[in-house]
């Protein structure tokens, strides 16, 4: 008799959750991205205990109807992708249909949602991947997702979490980047009952930077707005007053998606070379717009990394955009010296 068998759906989801959901901050990221994809103009995020005990995301997006709600929690279930061709020109943040299934596999999830067209809302409650309750529910348009007890059924993962304050910091970092990724959305972020920041959603990126980082940073920014080759770069560069001892204050967004990419970081830092002392890293918030066909976001389950068709060209374009902005900012009119 053979000994190889297919894993059951629940086990598969738990394993997959290991790739997508590393910590509570990953849950916040996935859920907020869903709210953004749902067209929300207001998103509020409340967490307690570093997100381990409680995460609630409220959005005013288009909602999910009752027929779709159970399916949304199934693996590879998505409304954002219907053919392989579409993979090459993604405009939504999600497309893998894995987040809700993964989150539900390792926590206790309640989703309440109502679409514009339905008379009543719908509620589902899932624990460790099993639907416990579902039914009609009165609520306003939009979606509320509440997560409790992250990793309650995977003690090995729970043990690997950091302290609540450290997990909180990871969430703050993600929230800052999500807010900067969409300055046209009003975000509110509350941790342990305290408002950490709120943004206006008026499309002003500098206003968002002020809300998340404060006045000192905003006073030291250089504008960047540049189109070169096939990319457009917009955003802000920090002057040397706000260079940092780490790369924690560097944010790159490609077509509205927060990403990490070594080529881009290297290009920016190369442009700063000679402006900063060794072991100092520039502050920057860069929005890069490029035809989605030139970039592959599907190289990592959490979609944190991207691949460009032509990395060298990207390096060159970013380098020159940043360099030009830095040069014009440092250009002071020469003063006649008649001594």
Positions touching ligand ADP (CB under 6 A) are: 30, 34-35, 38, 59, 61-64, 72, 77-80, 94-101, 143
Q: How remote is the C-alpha of 291 from its chain's centroid?
A: 20
- Of residues 24 through 83, those in contact with Mg ion by CB under 5 A are 34
**Site map 72..101 versus Mg ion, x via CB under 5 A:** ----------------------x----x--
The residues, any chain, with a CB within 8 Å of residue 158's CB and separated by 6 or more, are: 52, 150, 151, 152
CB 73 within 8 A of CB 124: yes
13 binds, among Mg ion, ligand ADP, none (CB under 5 to 8 A by kind): none
- The CA distance from 117 to 119, in Å, is 7
Question: Measured from the CB of residue 208, what is the shortest distance to ligand ADP in angstroms?
Answer: 21
- Between residues 65 and 239, which has the closer beta carbon with respect to Mg ion? 65
35 binds, among Mg ion, ligand ADP, none (CB under 5 to 8 A by kind): ligand ADP
Query: Structure tokens of 84?
Result: 């392989």
Please list the residues that pair with 231 across neighbouring strands. Answer: 228, 290
96 binds, among Mg ion, ligand ADP, none (CB under 5 to 8 A by kind): ligand ADP
72 binds, among Mg ion, ligand ADP, none (CB under 5 to 8 A by kind): ligand ADP
- Between residues 109 and 286, which has the closer beta carbon with respect to ligand ADP? 109
Question: Measured from the CB of residue 94, what is the shortest distance to ligand ADP in angstroms?
Answer: 2
DSSP state of 182: -
> How many residues are given for the chain?
339
Question: Measured from the CB of residue 235, what is the shortest distance to ligand ADP in angstroms?
Answer: 26
The residues, any chain, with a CB within 8 Å of residue 139's CB and separated by 6 or more, are: 112, 113, 114, 121, 123
Identify the residue whose tokens are 């976001």: 297
Bridge-based pairing of strands 307-308 and 250-254 is unpaired
321 binds, among ligand ADP, Mg ion, none (CB under 5 to 8 A by kind): none
- Between residues 96 and 213, which has the closer beta carbon with respect to ligand ADP? 96
Can residue 317 be called a binding residue for Mg ion (CB under 5 A)?
no
- The CA distance from 43 to 57, in Å, is 7
- Of residues 150 through 169, those in contact with Mg ion by CB under 5 A are none
Q: CA angle at residue 37 from 33 to 41, to 5 degrees?
A: 90
- The CA distance from 47 to 149, in Å, is 12
- Between residues 32 and 285, which has the closer beta carbon with respect to Mg ion? 32
**Which stretches of the chain bind Mg ion, using CB under 5 A?**
34, 94, 99
């Amino acid at each position: 008799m053979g000994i190889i068998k297919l894993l059951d759906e629940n086990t598969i989801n738990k394993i997959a959750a290991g790739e997508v959901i590393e910590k509570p901050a990953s849950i916040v990221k996935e859920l907020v991205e869903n709210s953004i994809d749902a067209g929300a103009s207001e998103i509020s995020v409340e967490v307690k205990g570093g997100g381990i005990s409680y995460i609630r995301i409220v959005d005013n997006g288009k909602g999910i109807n009752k027929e779709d709600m159970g399916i949304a929690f199934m693996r590879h279930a998505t409304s954002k992708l219907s053919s392989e061709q579409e993979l090459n020109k993604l405009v939504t943040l999600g497309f893998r249909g894995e987040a809700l299934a993964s989150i539900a596999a390792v926590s206790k999830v309640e989703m309440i949602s109502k679409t514009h067209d339905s008379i009543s809302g719908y509620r589902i409650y899932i624990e460790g991947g099993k639907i416990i309750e579902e039914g009609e529910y009165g609520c306003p348009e939009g979606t509320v997702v509440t997560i409790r007890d992250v990793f309650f059924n995977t003690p090995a993962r729970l043990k690997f979490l950091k302290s609540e304050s450290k997990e909180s910091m990871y969430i703050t970092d993600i929230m800052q980047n999500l807010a900067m990724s969409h300055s046209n959305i009003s975000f509110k972020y509350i941790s342990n009952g305290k408002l950490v920041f709120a943004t206006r959603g008026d499309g002003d990126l500098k206003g968002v930077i002020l809300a998340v980082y404060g006045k000192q940073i905003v006073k030291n920014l250089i504008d960047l707005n540049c189109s070169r080759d096939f990319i457009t770069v917009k955003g802000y560069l920090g002057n040397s007053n706000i260079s940092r001892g780490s790369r924690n204050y560097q944010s790159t967004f490609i077509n509205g998606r927060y990403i990490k990419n070594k080529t881009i970081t290297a290009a920016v830092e190369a442009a700063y070379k000679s402006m900063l002392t060794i072991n100092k890293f520039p502050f920057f918030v860069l929005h890069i717009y490029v035809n989605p066909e030139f970039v592959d976001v599907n190289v990592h389950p959490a979609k944190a990394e991207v691949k460009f068709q032509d990395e060298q060209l990207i390096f060159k374009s970013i380098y020159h955009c940043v360099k030009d902005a830095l040069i014009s900012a440092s250009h002071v009119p020469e003063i006649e010296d008649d001594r």
